[in-house]
Amino acid sequence: MSDSQSYANSGWRLRLSKMVPPLAVQRDSLLSGTLRRAIAGHRITVEEGVLLHNHNSLAGL
């Protein structure tokens, strides 16, 4: 990863944590839980990936 890529990726969790999630995400337990875990630095599991892949809320994704 180059220095510019490293800088661009360095604070994405902090920036994301300061944003107000869209209503579609706030109202959906799968999406809001996944967002919280991603902000906290956790990886999405295979099972969560399958659930997200099959999720019916394109607006939330």
Residue type, 24: A
Number of domain units in the chain: 1
Round the average pLDDT of the chain to a whole number and report it.
86
Give the per-residue pLDDT at 56: 82
Model confidence at 7: pLDDT above 60: no
The end-to-end CA distance of the chain, in Å, is 27
**Is 21 a member of any domain?**
yes
Asked, for residue 42, whether it belongs to a domain, the answer is yes
- Which contiguous run of DSSP H or E holds residue 7? helix 3-10
What token pair was written down for 23? 């209503």
pLDDT in tens, 18-31: 999 999 999 999 99
Q: Does residue 59 form part of some domain?
A: no
8 within domain boundaries: yes
Domain that holds residue 37: 3-53
Give the global pTM. 0.74
Give domain status of residue 58, yes or no: no
